[in-house]
Amino acid sequence: MLKKDINSYNGFFNEINNNWAILTCGDKFIGSNSMTVSWGGIGYLWDKPVCFVFVRESRHTKKFIDKSDSVTLSFLSDKYKKALAVFGSKSGKDVDKFKETGLHKTFDLDYNGYYVCESDYVLKCKKLFSLDITKDKLPDYIKDDFYKNEDYHTLYVCEIKQYLVNEE
Ligand SMILES: Cc1cc2nc3c(=O)[nH]c(=O)nc-3n(C[C@H](O)[C@H](O)[C@H](O)COP(=O)(O)O)c2cc1C
């Protein structure tokens, strides 16, 4: 057997980490917010296709994912990397990231959620479960590297209900 770098595996496994995605949470009633994510993954849990994402306490997006079960992951091509950097550095508390980047979101009536129109593909999901990451279960080196500011992540597991592909 040949030993290979796990990052050389092409598929959903490293899609979020390598290409990033825009996580959009919320619905028609509470509104929505979007931010860039690069941690997370796709797999199976409770006999369902799921994605899981990690959202820090400080993110404006967290208020929306906690209040609504509509969650989408929008995957865009490399030409939108600058826009993804804006979605990953500015807060929806302060700016309208869609206005600032020229990206558009669309509301999906059946699903009561939003996704990014310019995406190559979209995962439309419903939140199933969440779990706060707490310091007592983390190795010290992870705490030192990622949580010096005590801004912990919450893990969200979301069932993938639909996979949309832009065929243009
Ligand atoms: C490439 C990239 C990946 C990111 N991944 C995550 C992530 O997985 N989880 C997270 O909480 N923040 C992540 N962030 C940071 C948020 O996207 C960023 O803080 C954003 O401005 C939050 O927006 P909001 O306050 O409107 O929610 C990432 C940022 C970048 C640039």
CA torsion 102-119-7-131 (nearest 10°) is 90
Structural domain boundaries enclosing 13? 6-165
- The answer to whether residues 114 and 105 touch, using CB atoms and an 8 Å cutoff, is yes
Q: Domain tally for the chain? A: 1
Tens of pLDDT, residue by residue over 123-156, are: 999 999 999 999 999 999 999 999 999 999 999 9
Calculate mean pLDDT across residues 84-106: 98
Q: How far apart, in Å, are the Cα atoms of 69 and each of 26, 64, 127?
A: 7, 9, 5
Q: Is residue 86 part of a domain?
A: yes
Model confidence, pTM: 0.96
End-to-end alpha-carbon separation of the chain, Å? 40
**Pocket lined around ligand 1, Cβ cut-off 6 Å:** 20, 33, 35-39, 54-56, 59-61, 85, 88-93
pLDDT at 126: 98
**What is the percent of the chain with per-residue pLDDT over 70, rounded to a whole number?**
98
Q: Is residue 99 part of a domain?
A: yes
Q: Is residue 95 part of a domain?
A: yes
Nearest atom within ligand 1 for CA of residue 40: 8
pLDDT at 17: 82
CATH assignment of the domain containing 80: 2.30.110.10
Q: Give the mean pLDDT of the chain.
A: 95
The Cα–Cα gap between 80 and 86 comes to 10
Q: Is residue 76 part of a domain?
A: yes
Nearest atom within ligand 1 for CA of residue 39: 8
Calculate mean pLDDT across residues 80-89: 98
Q: Is residue 121 part of a domain?
A: yes
Q: Is residue 72 part of a domain?
A: yes
> What is the band of 56 on the pLDDT scale with cuts at 50, 70, 90?
very high
Q: Has residue 92 got a pLDDT over 80?
A: yes
Nearest atom within ligand 1 for CA of residue 23: 17
pLDDT at 27: 97
Tens of pLDDT, residue by residue over 1-35, are: 988 887 777 776 678 888 899 999 999 999 999 99
Q: Is residue 141 part of a domain?
A: yes
Q: 14, 18, 38, 90: which to mutate for ligand 1, most atoms within 8 A of CB? A: 38
pLDDT at 103: 98
Q: Is residue 1 part of a domain?
A: no
